[in-house]
Structure 1
Amino acid sequence: MKTNDSNFLSFLGAPAQRALISELGISKLEDISRYTKKDLLRLHGFGPSSLPKLEAELTKRGIQWKDQS
């Protein structure tokens, strides 16, 4: 799924961006709130080094993860 705002994930590497957009259909950062950290780490191309970068950006924008339970 293409988005007009291609920079909303620019803080992540290309493989992580592709994983979020292609595999989960993320079209804006707020869409991440539908997923847990474990969900993202299961994606091909989204590794442990991407998680702290994403967490920092979500925190900065006041976006929370889906509850782990």
Structure 2
Amino acid sequence: MTDATDADLPRGIGRPATGALTLAGYTRLEQLDGVPAKDLLALHGVGPKAIRVLTEELAERGMALG
């Protein structure tokens, strides 16, 4: 399993969100392309701020949440 500190996720989402996403198997930003925001919000530690940051970071790379 990948440690949250090794995850390729934006730092701006915060440590709780990074840990929650990593535990759910998301270690790279690209893996979130097409994933519904409501699924991510269901993870303990992922809140509206994390969704906003992820949405912005994905958009910069031509990707989006589902």
State the TM-score bracket (shorter-chain normalisation): 0.7 to 0.9
Contiguous gaps of at least 5 residues in structure 1:
none
When you count helix as a share of all residues, which structure comes out higher? 2
Q: Deviations over 1:2-29 (max 9, x none)?
A: 16x825222320000001000x201211
Could you tell me which amino acid in structure 1 is paired with residue 59 of structure 2?
Answer: T
RMSD: 1.9
Partner of 2:53: 53
- CA 18–7 in structure 1, closer or farther in 2 if over 3 Å, else same: closer
Where does the alignment leave 5 or more consecutive residues of structure 2 unmatched?
A: none
- Aligned identity (percent) is 38
Give me the whole-angstrom Cα distance separating, in 1, the residues matched to 2:41 and 2:56: 16
Bigger-Rg structure (1/2): 1
Q: Alpha-carbon deviations, 1:1-60, whole Å to 9, x = none?
A: 216x825222320000001000x2012111112520000011100011211111000000
